[in-house]
Amino acid sequence: MARLFGTDGVRGVANADLTAELALGLSVAAAHVLAEAGTFEGHRPVAVVGRDPRASGEFLEAAVVAGLASAGVDVLRVGVLPTPAVAYLTGALGADLGVMLSASHNPMPDNGIKFFARGGHKLADELEDRIERVYREHASGEPWDRPTGAGVGRVKDYDEGFDKYVAHLIGVLPNRLDGLKVVVDGAHGAAARVSPEAFARAGAEVIPIATEPDGLNINDGCGSTHLQGLRAAVVEHGAQLGVAHDGDADRCLAVDAAGNEIDGDQILSVLALGMREAGTLRGNTVVATVMSNLGFKLAMEREGVGLLQTAVGDRYVLEEMKRGGYSLGGEQSGHVIVLDHATTGDGTLTGLLLAARVAATGRPLAELAGVMKRLPQVLINVPDVDRSRVGSSARVAAAVEEAERELGETGRVLLRPSGTEPLVRVMVEAADLDQARTVAGRLADEVKSALG
């Protein structure tokens, strides 16, 4: 039986994989598991519930709220807000649980449920496993122990969440953005109101695009997965930079004044040097994943900044940051975690801090991001292979060793089995794009032949 929880909550096609019944049942199960773990002991439990603008979020929110209230949890419904806003409010309001309904950068028909523990942190894997186990037990017929009378949860809208979150963002900025013109692409998603408002309150002149969600247009040709509109708008309006979010605004990518993409590795480079200068880069170290561009690693080495790399996924970055007490980490995709101010990736905060660095230094974003040179990176997905054997095949190991010898210190090879599909991802970086393509193609052929 497939596990419901993935690396970022439960996701699927809304009303097909992710039904109202599933949303309700998981919410009740979460309440019972947290109660058993002692989270609610000695007080009446409270949950913060938010969503992105997807049409399906309306009925899924109703199901989640019903499930929590039926289990005796009071609910503060914050409406359409980014995932990091729900995480922040969970902590700031002293809530016992946060729930976000979003499928992030996925297309509109998808949706998802993500739970946050007290303080706004992602639930531990073992708690997710217990929630899933309890849900399945009761879905098969075991009745719930339900409160009655005054024991049922009460539901109210918490309209102050928007202003409270924006005030938090402005409050942590090291300097204002006066004099900057910034294009903000809201992906017709959860940050469509929040991000332009935050930039404006910080002093920037804001040109908003893709900030008119209708429930159906989220991530549709816009946002961090489709930067063409942002590039064009930045050049057209003569802006110093542009930022783009995904549907739930836990990530941020940027473009410079010429419309060139600034990815998550480059954003981390800029923020790392700024934080080191300010004395806030704890351990003088950045945490990133194995998918970070080799150019990022070389830049940090040259600048004397330590780099720790984890498995792919922002949850693994966050775990390493907490373990080592580090303050900055993230992914090439634009998930950037500034742990002093957020418990998860926060796209609006990332964009604000990047713009603040431009304003404080008076240097163009392209110049700041030029601290690292992105090496050409080629990624090939090899389908229909036995991904479980990628680490044990002698033929594959020999091919990787040969490729690494050929590339030397200016290149890198990474083979990674997909966590959800029967395929292996072959990634090659080299100083020369043609060499990267040649080596990646040869490796992909070997993987197909050895594991197919």
Shared domain check, 299 and 246: yes
Region 78-97: what's the mean pLDDT? 98
How many structural domains are present in the chain? 3
Shared domain check, 171 and 127: no
Element (H, E) at 334: none
Cβ(218)–Cβ(211) under 8 Å? no
Shared domain check, 382 and 357: no
Task: Check the annotation: does 246 bind a ligand.
Answer: yes
Q: Which domain holds residue 383?
A: 377-451
Instruction: Read off the pLDDT of residues 336-371 as tens digits, 9 standing for 90 and up.
Output: 999 999 999 999 999 999 999 999 999 999 999 999
Average pLDDT over the chain, rounded to whole? 95
Region 177-190: what's the mean pLDDT? 98
Element (H, E) at 79: strand 74-80
**Which of 95, 127, 159 is the last residue before a domain boundary?**
159
Instruction: Read off the pLDDT of residues 128-137 as tens digits, 9 standing for 90 and up.
Output: 999 999 999 9
d(CA 23, CA 48): 15
Shared domain check, 320 and 190: yes
Task: Check the annotation: does 393 bind a ligand.
Answer: no
Task: Check the annotation: does 250 bind a ligand.
Answer: yes
Instruction: Give 283's Cβ-side CA count (13 Å radius).
Output: 16
Shared domain check, 135 and 21: yes
Instruction: Read off the pLDDT of residues 388-399 as tens digits, 9 standing for 90 and up.
Output: 888 888 999 999
For residue 419, pLDDT beyond 80: no
d(CA 282, CA 248): 28
For residue 409, pLDDT beyond 90: no
Look at residue 212 in the predicted model and tell me its pLDDT. Answer: 98
Q: State the pairing for strand pair 412-417/423-429.
A: antiparallel
CATH code: domain of residue 19: 3.40.120.10
Shared domain check, 175 and 147: no
Query: Catalytic pick from 104, 195, 292, 333?
Result: 104
Residue 1: pLDDT band (50, 70, 90) is low
Q: In this predicted model, which residue has the larger pLDDT, 43 or 391?
A: 43
For residue 416, pLDDT beyond 90: no
Look at residue 8 in the predicted model and tell me its pLDDT. Answer: 81
Task: Check the annotation: does 248 bind a ligand.
Answer: yes
Shared domain check, 215 and 137: no
Q: Has 104 been annotated as catalytic?
A: yes
Q: In this predicted model, which residue has the larger pLDDT, 313 or 246?
A: 246
Region 167-173: what's the mean pLDDT? 98
Residue 229: pLDDT band (50, 70, 90) is very high
Instruction: Read off the pLDDT of residues 252-301 as tens digits, 9 standing for 90 and up.
Output: 999 999 999 999 999 999 999 999 999 999 999 999 999 899 999 999 99
Q: Percent of the chain, pLDDT > 70? A: 99
User: Nearest 5°: CA angle at 378, between 377 and 381?
Assistant: 140
List CB contacts of 259: < 8 A, sequence separation 6 or more: 231, 232, 234, 235
Region 321-343: what's the mean pLDDT? 96
